[in-house]
Amino acid sequence: MAEYKILTGNEACVYGALDAGMDYFAGYPITPATEIAELSSRLLPLHGGVYMQMEDELASIASVIGASAAGAKAMTATSGPGFSLMQENLGYGMMTEIPCVIIDVVRSGPCQGNPTVPAQPDFMQVRWGTHGDHPVIALVPCSVAEAYTETIRAFNLSERFRTPVVVISDATLAHMSERVRIPDKDTLTIVDRRQPDCDPRDFDPYDMTLDDTTPLPAFGSGYRWFASGIVHDNSGFPVTGRGSAIQETLDHLLGKIDHHLDEIESYEEYRTGDAEILLLSAGLLSRSAKEAVDMAREQGVKAGLFRPVTLWPFPKQAFTACCDRARVILSVEMNMGQLKELAEQCANRGQQVGAVLQNDGTLIRAEKILQGIMEVK
């Protein structure tokens, strides 16, 4: 039977992870994400799982990837500086196609920045932080309830597509409290990783011919596979110096995401049908943007909001369709304009693209967004 809890955003991430089947957490304290580790350390043992306090963020993500290879549903949590340290091992997880979940509770930067305030400077780091061409799935909840549901979805997508998945929160969402409906577990859709049913001698852990993902048996289960971060063949063993093998590997990594966008992309359109001024905003800030849309409508200005819930891959086709109906596009962000570049890419020639930006450690109020709308109406 469903129940209701008053949770913070960080607590909701833990409850979502546990309901998704998380049985391993490795992490290192960092503001404003530490409560995720603290609650995991208390609840995981009660659910038969394992919590590991690591010496730093590099060890945390390495431990999570190793635990996943051994069959666990594994997660870590950090903030911008720690996420930067995880990038090399994230690339390893993408190349070896090992599922795991990372919660990035974003704070102001660069470097140590301001640990206690919200911001949105990690959007592009999540997309391009680790080197090379690689797929990325990143989800951006706008409420405590979505922190719960999107963490579950992060685990499902990670297991389904054999890849690390990032949930992008922020310092305010992490610590605010809201009422969350926790459904009966029997009603949840939970994805577990596929297991091979062939003879172990016939198993290929990386079948590049599939427009999908291959089964992933746990280390020690009788199926042998090699987890190399170098370009590899179907067995996982390195094949360097052969251009066709390199292209095949990269095409496979990107294709398993790009060919299944209908399963991955999620977004919200709010009053976009006749919107002449279209706002683009993600995360908690989108709630201020939605309020500004209503305020503008009360003044006779046709405004609307496009909110990507799946930030990466960006729901470009849906957003472009909204752009086609609008005269002006405004990106609303707590950074210096990272999503504005996406808006410019999706806009038609001649469309005005602007931004309402603020990166002083506070949420942008609806009144400021409304002011931006009225300046371009």
Per-residue confidence (pLDDT) for residue 210, from 0 to 100? 65
Per-residue confidence (pLDDT) for residue 327, from 0 to 100? 94
Per-residue confidence (pLDDT) for residue 164, from 0 to 100? 97
112 against 148, higher pLDDT: 148
Q: Residue-wise over 336-367: b if at least 16 C-beta within 10 A, else e?
A: eebbbebbeebbeeebebbbbbbbebebbebe
Q: For the segment 220-266, what is each residue's pLDDT rounded down to a tens digit?
A: 999 988 888 888 888 888 887 677 878 888 888 999 999 999 999 99
Q: In what order do the strands lie in the sheet with 303-308?
A: 267-270, 303-308, 277-280, 328-333, 352-357
Domains defined for the chain, CATH in brackets = 3-187 (3.40.50.970), 268-376 (3.40.50.920)
Model pTM? Answer: 0.96
Q: At what angle do helices 34-43 and 9-20 cross, to 10 degrees?
A: 40
Using pLDDT thresholds of 50, 70 and 90, give the confidence band for residue 211. low
Is residue 214 within 8 A of residue 206, CB to CB? The reply is yes
% pLDDT > 90, the chain: 81
% pLDDT > 70, the chain: 99
Q: For the segment 264-279, what is each residue's pLDDT rounded down to a tens digit?
A: 999 999 999 999 999 9
Q: At what angle do helices 57-69 and 87-96 cross, to 10 degrees?
A: 10
Q: How far apart are the first and last CA of the chain?
A: 49
Q: For the segment 62-117, what is each residue's pLDDT rounded down to a tens digit?
A: 999 999 999 999 999 999 999 999 999 999 999 999 999 999 999 998 888 888 89
The alpha carbon of 241 is separated from its chain's Cα centroid by a whole number of angstroms, namely 33
Per-residue confidence (pLDDT) for residue 328, from 0 to 100? 96
Mean pLDDT for the chain overall: 94
How large is the average pLDDT for residues 177-181? Answer: 97
